[in-house]
Amino acid sequence: MKKLNNLYLIISLLSIFTVIGCKKYLDVKSDLKLVVPKTLSDAQGLMDDANLMNLRTTPSYGESSSDDYFLPPAGYQATLVDGQDVYRWKPVPYKFGIDWSQGYLAIYNSNLCMEILQNVERTDGNGQQWDNAMGSAFFYRAYYILMLTGQYGLGYDEGSSNKDLGVVLRSSSDFNIKSVRSTVEECYQQVINDASAALNLLPNYPQHLMRPSKGAALALLSRCYLYMHKYELALKFATEALAFNNKLMDYNSDSDIVGLSGNTPFKKFNKETLWYAELSGGFGIQAILRARIDTTLYASYNANDLRKIAFFRAASPYQQFKGNYTANINNNFSGLATDELLLTSAECKAYLNNIDDGMKDLNTLLKSRWRNTVIYQPLTASNREDALTKIRTERRKELLMRGLRFYDIKRYNKEGLNLNLTRLINGQIVTLPANSPFYALPLPVDIVDITGIQQN
């Protein structure tokens, strides 16, 4: 049999096994019609399969490689060798991997959905449903391309991204089409094209927050342009997204807060959520029970900043993170939310020398997190650099463990921050230098072997 020179053979098999497991295939009389999706309802069903599209599916290798957490000696020793190598920023000969397989399975489902809809006539009667399914497919493909590119490609650089390798762009469910790595520039352009197409099709607000909407598509475009250093466009789309939802939880008292001191302080699908997704389990080294929060980072929260209660619990002598928007201490939120948009708006305004409005956005966020029995003193900035430093510090503190820090470090270093990451392991300092080639994380070795695509 002809060797299939791409990753979709494996993805297709995974899809089959998933369908068999979910539908109890052996208990059903064989009928090919049951397993060949071809209707509008089938297409929407692919997009509504939260287990494949939303839940524990966002790439997390980058989060494992970031600097917001550390492993104490006992946790490091209890970690498998692959996890230890990831923690040391060493190339890991891992196979297929949760991040790659889940990301491309979601992309596969998106492509399949589009192909189904090409054979379903859009009419006045089904137009709203057709648009929602097609828009969702564009959105999901854009989201996973963006997050995979940010993990496996170097940080965006206008001078080199037309040569730097990104990920494989798939626009068909046909697994006989050879896989080829596109450039970082091509990957970001695909995200923009897909998210823009989604924006024109999706409803203003979703029936459920696991479904994308116009607000979510705008937020995705804002995130994309931010990581491209295109601050005017990132601000434009953040502003438009906030027009759909600018709500913040008041950490003093809010219907979406269960209890700040509890292990799950926030309700799932709270008012700040535009679209819901979760980080994958990845290599597991940043898992709640194993990881500890960087001590300097924890100390930076003011005693009257209620995030210090909501986000952390004691694991003597250190702290663990618990401030997920998932209502599950073991699952990290990775979706799109208003707090991220407000921080993006603040940073873009400061970057573009609108310092006063940038600080106003930042203070709006921080005041909602401040103990209301103590007068909040708004932060001020003396100049553009001071404003950016304060806003980016709060971005890190607010968006903790959402899978964004690694992408931010790459962005900052491309702008000259020269942030070197360090870890103390068995008495030795291990360093990941700023702008190291390792910021394009290694691809699964079996995917490289099967497809022949270039390894990082």
Burial class (CB in 10 A: 0-12, 13-18, 19+), 45: middle
Terminal C-alpha separation, the chain: 30
Q: Max alpha carbon distance in the chain (Å)?
A: 73
Beta-sheet strands, E only, within 295-380: 312-315, 318-321, 336-337
Q: What pLDDT does 32 receive? A: 46
Beta-sheet strands, E only, within 158-202: 165-168, 181-183
pLDDT band at 114 (very low <50, low <70, confident <90, very high): very high
Q: Closest Cα to residue 338, out of 398, 272, 244, 253? A: 272
Q: What pLDDT does 34 receive? A: 54
pLDDT, tens only, 307-318: 999 999 999 999
pLDDT, tens only, 335-344: 999 999 999 9
pLDDT band at 445 (very low <50, low <70, confident <90, very high): very high
Conformational region of residue 383, where left means phi above 0, alpha means psi within -120 to 50, and beta covers everything else = beta
Q: Closest Cα to residue 220, out of 191, 254, 181? A: 191
Domains and CATH numbers, the chain: 8-451 (1.25.40.390)
pLDDT, tens only, 253-304: 999 999 999 999 999 999 999 999 999 999 989 887 889 999 999 999 999 9
pTM of the model: 0.93
Q: Which tokens belong to 381?
A: 């900035």
